[in-house]
Amino acid sequence: MEWHATATGERGMNTTTTNTASGAAEYLDVNDLAALLRCSSRHVRKLVVDRVLPAPIRLGALTRWSRAVVVRWLEERGGGPAADRGGRRVQVR
């Protein structure tokens, strides 16, 4: 059994949550990811083209990123792109 719902997550971000028998997974759209990374949605798209970000998931016409994959990627990078530019590090909860 699977159902989809859109909810307001942390910091007012809109997230898509999918519940399955194996548990819940949260997905971020380009604007949510930009807010998490503290950059513009245009910069997120550039990071995708440059293959810097983890590959997105295509859900029909929608493009989403798994929050768990993005958090793991940020932890591996030590804070994400903002840290690379000398900006404030992204805090991951």
Parallel, antiparallel or unpaired: strands 14-20 and 62-66: unpaired
What's the CA gap between 93 and 77, in Å, rounded? 15
What's the CA gap between 65 and 55, in Å, rounded? 7
pLDDT at 17 over 70: no
pLDDT of residue 10: 41
Pick from 56, 47, 92: nearest CA to 74 = 92
pLDDT in tens, 29-77: 999 999 999 999 999 999 999 999 999 999 899 999 999 999 999 999 8
CB 28 within 8 A of CB 67: yes
Task: Give me the mean pLDDT over the 69-90 stretch.
Answer: 70
Map out the domains of the chain with their CATH numbers: 3-84 (1.10.10)
DSSP state at residue 56: P
Residue 5 confidence class, pLDDT cut points 50, 70, 90: very low
Q: Is the pTM of this model over 0.95?
A: no
pLDDT at 14 over 60: no
pLDDT of residue 28: 95
- Gyration radius from the chain CA atoms: 13
